Amino acid sequence: MRRLGAVEKTYATARGINNAGHVVGERRLKNMPSHAFLLKNGVLTDLGTLGGRHSGAYGINREGKVVGSAQTSSGASHAFLWLSGVMTDLGTLGGRSSAAYAISPLGLVVGSSLTRDNLSNAFLG
């Protein structure tokens, strides 16, 4: 086990890794909201949010596509897909929140979302 020095702050957790050794997760600076990150070849990239304060990354595929959950400007958390500096909102199944947990080599995303009836359902997209 070794420390990922580039992501050390008040709080940091690694949640995913691809075959090239690129790591994704979430970190928080002192007195700041947590943000998703990508650590690639020793360079840390903050992935931002969907207009809200918080985000977290959970999976990355071999092509560097990252998935996770990010807060929107309304305060809801939505599943996202990030690639080359662009975070795309994947929406929900009609409810307030969703999260993407993994992405396949072909770009298929899996996760969970609330429905209009406030039930949690798995999704594939």
pLDDT at position 4 is 72
Q: Which residues, listed in sequence order, are joined to residue 103 by a DSSP beta bridge? A: 109
Degrees to nearest 5, angle at CA 67 with 7 and 88: 110
Domain boundaries, the chain: 5-124
Which residues contact residue 89 at a Cβ distance below 8 angstroms, ignoring those fewer than 6 apart? 50, 70, 72, 78, 79, 80
Q: What is the pLDDT of residues 8-54, one digit of tens each?
A: 667 889 999 999 999 999 998 878 899 999 999 989 999 999 999 99
State the sign of the Cα–Cα–Cα–Cα dihedral 11, 73, 115, 60: negative
Structure tokens at 43: 């360079």
Model's pTM, two decimal places? 0.93
Q: Could you report the per-residue pLDDT of 28-41, keeping only the tens digit for each?
A: 887 889 999 999 99
